[in-house]
A and B are shown apart, each in its own frame.
Chain A
C-alpha cells in the first residue's frame, strides 16, 4: 500500500523511498535513481576525465558501486552528494592510472618562440579573441601538469563552476585545502599565460 501511495504522489517518490524500495528487493527503484542522476554524473565525470568513453564507464561503475553499498548509505548526506562522491573518487582513480597525456597544440611556457599576437587587429572583439586563445591553451597546458587531486578540483571549478565549498563537500576535504589546491592550479595556468602576457606588454610598448 505504501508503494501505491508513493506512485500517486505528484512529485514522485523521494530518493529515500527509492532506496528503500531497492533494499526491499525491487530493482525498479534503483532504475529510477539511475535515470534521475545519470546525466549529472556523466556530465561531471566528463568534466573531470575529458573523455566520453571513460565518463560513460565511470558513470556506470559509480551506479553499480552505489547499488552494492546502498545498505551502508546512512542518509547523512543527500543521495546525490553520496553518488557524486563515489563518481569523483572513480574519476580520480582513473586520472591516477592514466599513463598517457594530452599534448595540446601551441607554444608552451619557456618556449623560445613567443606567440605572435596580432595586436594591430582592428576588429571589435580582437582583444577578446586574443584572451580566448591565450586562456584556452594555457588551461590545457597547465592542467596536464597538475596532480590528480588538483585536476579534479580545478576541473570541477572550471567546467562545472562549482563553488569551493561544494567542491570541498564532494571531496570530503576542508575548504581551505580545496582553496590551496585550486590556487596552485590557477598559479600554473598563470605561468602558462606569462609568455603571452610578456608579448602583449612588449607589443603595447612598441605601439
Chain B
C-alpha cells in the first residue's frame, strides 16, 4: 500500500527545504501528494503576500528618511552640547575657586604683587609714620593745653583754682 503524506509533513518539507529523498520521490510520482505539496507551497506564499504591509507612498519614504536625518542631527547637536556644558561647568568651577583662593590670600597674606623688598620698605615706612605721629601727638600735648581749648574754656577758673590750691598746699608742705 502506498503511503501518502499529510499536510503537516508537506508543510515541514516546504519550510525546511527537506532533503528527505523518500518524500521527494513520492511527491514526484504521486499526483495527489504532488498537488497537495503545490497547494501548501502556494498557500504559504499567498499567506505571506497577503500579510505583508500595504504598499507605501513616496511621501512615507521621504518622511521616514527626513525623520532619520533629523534624529541624527539632533543626536549630533546633543553630542556637541555635552562637551560645551562640561567646559562651561569647568570654567565656573575655576572662576569660583580662583575667587575664593584670592579672597583667602588677601586676608591672610601680604600682597604678593609687590616684591619682598618693597614690602619690608613699606612696613618700615609705616612704622616711621606711626612714630612720627606719636611724636607729633606729644608735641601737641606740650604746645597746646587741652584745658585751654575752646571746649574747656569755661572751666578755666576751676583749673586755675585747682592749680592755686595745689601751689598753696605745696607751700605749706602738705603735698
- A residues apposed to B, CB below 8 Å: 27, 30-31, 34-35, 38-39, 42-43, 46-47, 50, 52, 55-56, 59-60, 63-64, 67-68, 127-128, 131-132, 134-136, 139, 157-159, 161, 163-164, 179, 182-183, 186-187, 189-190, 193-194, 196-197
Contact = CB atoms under 8 A, between A and B. Distances in A.
B72 A67 contact: yes
B162 to A, nearest CB: 100
Contacts of A60: 64, 67-68, 71
A27 B72 contact: yes
B8 A131 contact: no
B165 to A, nearest CB: 106
B11 A42 contact: no
B39 A163 contact: no
A42 B39 CA distance: 29
Nearest to B60: A56
B44 interface: yes
Given A50-B51, A186-B12, 5 more contacts: A42-B56, A64-B75, A132-B46, A158-B15, A161-B45
Contact of B47 (A55, A63, A139): A139
Contacts of B11: 135, 186, 189-190, 193
A43 B78 CA distance: 31
B99 interface: no
B137 to A, nearest CB: 79
B6 interface: yes
A132 B42 CA distance: 9
A123 to B, nearest CB: 14
A186 B56 CA distance: 31
Given A38-B65, A131-B40, A159-B51, A68 B15 contact: no
Contacts of B73: 27
Contacts of B46: 132
B16 to A, nearest CB: 6
B53 A128 contact: no
Nearest to B54: A52
Contact of A194 (B8, B68, B72): B8
B23 to A, nearest CB: 14
Nearest to A161: B48
Given A64-B72, A182-B16, A128 B43 contact: yes
A72 to B, nearest CB: 16
Contacts of B6: 197
6 contacts: A30-B69, A131-B43, A135-B47, A163-B17, A182-B15, A190-B12
Given A59-B64, A67-B72, A132-B46, A43 B52 contact: yes
Nearest to B45: A161
Contact of A64 (B12, B40, B71): B71
Contact of B15 (A34, A67, A157): A157
B7 A30 contact: no
A68 B75 CA distance: 9
A190 B44 CA distance: 13
Contacts of A196: 7
Which residue, of A56, A131, A136, A196, has the highest number of chain B Cβ atoms within 10 A? A131
